[in-house]
Amino acid sequence: MISILAQERLLGAMLGTLFTGILVFDQRRYIYKTIQQSQSQSPHQAQVKEPILGKKSRSEVAHLWNKTVDQTFGPLIESLSSRGW
């Protein structure tokens, strides 16, 4: 029988693997799409597009993401730390 700690570790590993897989798949799809678009344009039409989020907006999103993760998983991390992880 698998202990609760092993189940938690297995669940964390599975979720991490799934999340990483989704990110890698999405990035590859974006790269291939970008290559295909750049190859279909003539060299004279190629233009650099502005990013959807500027540098300031990206840092704000990153800050909000980190804050949300801390608030969401903070109690879990404290619980695991108290168990000696």
Instruction: State the pLDDT at residue 18.
Output: 93
- Inter-residue contact 36 to 28 (CB < 8 Å): no
pLDDT, tens digit only, all 85 positions of the chain? 668 888 888 898 999 999 999 999 999 999 998 888 888 875 555 565 656 666 667 778 888 888 888 888 888 888 888 887 6
Q: What is 12-74 written as a DSSP string?
A: HHHHHHHHHHHHHHHHHHHHHHHHHHHHHS-TTT--PPPPSS-HHHHHHHHHHHHHHHHHHHH
pTM value? Answer: 0.42
Instruction: State the pLDDT at residue 47.
Output: 61
Instruction: State the pLDDT at residue 28.
Output: 92
Instruction: State the pLDDT at residue 82.
Output: 84
- Residue with structure tokens 């790269």? 31
DSSP state of 83: T
